[in-house]
Amino acid sequence: MGDIYGEAQLEAALEYQINTFASGWLEKTDDGLVWHPFTHEAQLSSINAITPLPTNSSSNQQFIIAGNLYTSEVETPRNDASYGLVLQSDTAGFTSLAPSRTGLYVRGEVKEVAPIRLANNKYGYLFAINNDSLRLIEYKPELH
């Protein structure tokens, strides 16, 4: 880093420390909030968008997550390992549903995901890809 920024700039720089880069969720308990990381598959890249899928149950919710981050500092490699993922809640937190099961496969730096009802009464999801066109993926979640 000294070769890139110079020692003087590094000494004067504002510095923060973090304990994890993991994405996850907070559980409200009687003792306060408890942090739970998402599954390993959800940690492969940054998450920029999350949207709930329709369900018949409040205890078994599914979410689409998507992300990636292509622009970063020179010393930070880009995050590009996500093709989107469906997470399903269960008693232990969340499990990942394999892309082979869901059919979800979105390339690019996803900035937002939004549901849309298609003319055939099926579900679709619009994916806003940075510096690219919108992508529409038809997806019928398993209602529980």
pLDDT at residue 66, as a whole number: 97
What span, in angstroms and rounded, lies between the C-alpha atoms of 137 and 132?
A: 15
pLDDT at residue 141, as a whole number: 62
pLDDT at residue 37, as a whole number: 95
Q: What is the mean pLDDT of each run of 10 residues along the chain (144 residues)?
A: 88 90 93 95 95 79 94 85 92 88 92 92 91 89 55
pLDDT at residue 33, as a whole number: 96
pLDDT at residue 75, as a whole number: 79
pLDDT at residue 96, as a whole number: 94
Q: Is 80 exposed, middle or buried (0-12, 13-18, 19+ CB in 10 A)?
A: middle
Q: Are 50 and 113 in contact (CB under 8 A)?
A: yes
pLDDT at residue 103, as a whole number: 86
What span, in angstroms and rounded, lies between the C-alpha atoms of 74 and 102?
A: 35
